[in-house]
Amino acid sequence: GGGPAAGDALEKNAAELTVMDVYDIASAVGQEFERVIDQHGCEAIARLMPKVVRVLEILEVLVSRNHINPEMEELRLELDRLRLERMDRIEKERKHQKELELVEDVWRGEAQDLLTQIAQLQEENKQLMTNLSHKDINFTEEEFQKHEGKFDTSNSVLAFEVVDKQRDEIRAKDRELGLKNEDVEALQQQQNRLMKINHDLRHRITVVEAQGKALIEQKVELEAYLQTKEQEMGNLRAELGKLREKLQGEDSQNGEEVKAEPNKDDCLSESEKMAMDLKDPNRPRFTLQELRDVLHERNELKSKVFLLQEELLYYKSEDTEEETRPPQPTPIIQSKPSTQPESGIKRLFSFFSRDKKRLQASQKNVHFQDTFGEWSNSNKGDSYTEQGQEALQHL
């Protein structure tokens, strides 16, 4: 089944190729190898086939790497954007912290200046008091203390106002810093959630790719099996035609009356009667459609069991990781598998080689016709019916 599908795959753009297209191309190349083997023998492509298989394997790996889920790519871009925003916020917090430190230093410097001014004014006040004591001024001691108290009070009020103003500014900066920290924590939680979703999507993609490879391998096996059966049916039809020609020729030479060849409907009716014979142990129990339905249901159940087993192993590994170590928001790096499974390209070409071996084995049995001709001379009457019925039953 690699004719039209391989043509469509070869006409596609390189960026649009899928793993199924690579297998269709490999099937078409295998059929061309079969034609070359039939015409020139296996030695003609003995050195070429391993190189072609290697090239197809490389193409399969590259196509599977480039086939990325768009939703996963969007999540990765969103994660990068959140990381950049987080770095910007951290940088803004550092600048804000430096500004707060500068404001605090300025406030301390201004407070120190005010204290220095107060000390200087007090010193000047003392000097004025000493000067007034030596002069004859009609100021009483009570009036002097009253003026000194007013001066000290005005300076203290001014200093307290400056301190309160700077304290309010520091509180506002602290509230703003708290809001920024809450935003950073919310972004961190969102980043952790997106990383977990990304990990789940990667796991599901791995499971789906494994199921797809299993289905492709099963399809290749069924195609090879069908091709073998078609070759066997062609050989049986050729043997049946030669057998009828020999029997008709012998009947005409002996002067016997040649019986009309039964048409296809009669042969089919005889074969159906033989198939429906209850004493025949090889009679069919199911129709072809029922057998296909059973095989389809079996494949679906296998895929579901495989998916459930993968999910069970995944959740078990999550439980063990949560018990052994605390969760850390580290980026998940998907490690490459150490052992590479057998490529589907090698399986496909192995099936082609099996078909060639079966065809050569069937060609070795051609001498069966001559032996059967000698046997038919002695048992003409019975041999036609028994061998014909057996051939029809195979068909």
Per-domain residue ranges of the chain: 285-333
Sign of CA dihedral 153, 156, 162, 163: negative
pLDDT at position 14 over 90: no
State both tokens at 186.
């919310």
**For residue 183, what are the contacts with CB-CB under 8 A and spacing of at least 6?**
89
Q: In this structure, what are the phi and psi dihedrals at residue 61, rounded to the nearest 5 degrees?
A: -65, -45
d(CA 336, CA 343): 16
Q: What does the block give as tokens for 199? A: 């990990």
What is the pTM for the complete model shown? 0.29
pLDDT at 370: 44
Mean pLDDT of 305-310: 86
pLDDT at 349: 65
Which of residues 173 and 286 earns the better pLDDT score?
A: 173
How many residues would you count in the chain? 395
In this prediction, residue 87 carries a pLDDT of 93
Percent of the residues in the chain that have a pLDDT greater than 90, as a whole number:
4
Q: How many CA atoms lie within 13 A of 228 on its CB side?
A: 17
Residue 300's contacts (CB-CB under 8 Å, 6 or more residues apart) are: none
Summarised one tens digit per residue, pLDDT across range 333-374 is 343 444 445 556 666 666 555 555 554 544 444 444 444 444
Residues 6+ apart with CB under 8 A from 195: 79, 329, 331, 332
Percent of the chain with pLDDT over 70: 65
User: d(Cα 222, Cα 242) in Å, to the nearest integer?
Assistant: 30
Predicted confidence band of residue 46 (pLDDT cuts 50, 70, 90): confident
Q: Name the maximum alpha-carbon separation found in the chain.
A: 178
Q: Torsion angle, CA of 293/299/303/304, rounded to 10 degrees?
A: 40
Highest averaged pLDDT of the listed ranges 2-11, 238-247, 321-330: 238-247
Residue 9, burial from CB neighbour count under 10 angstroms (0-12, 13-18, 19+): buried
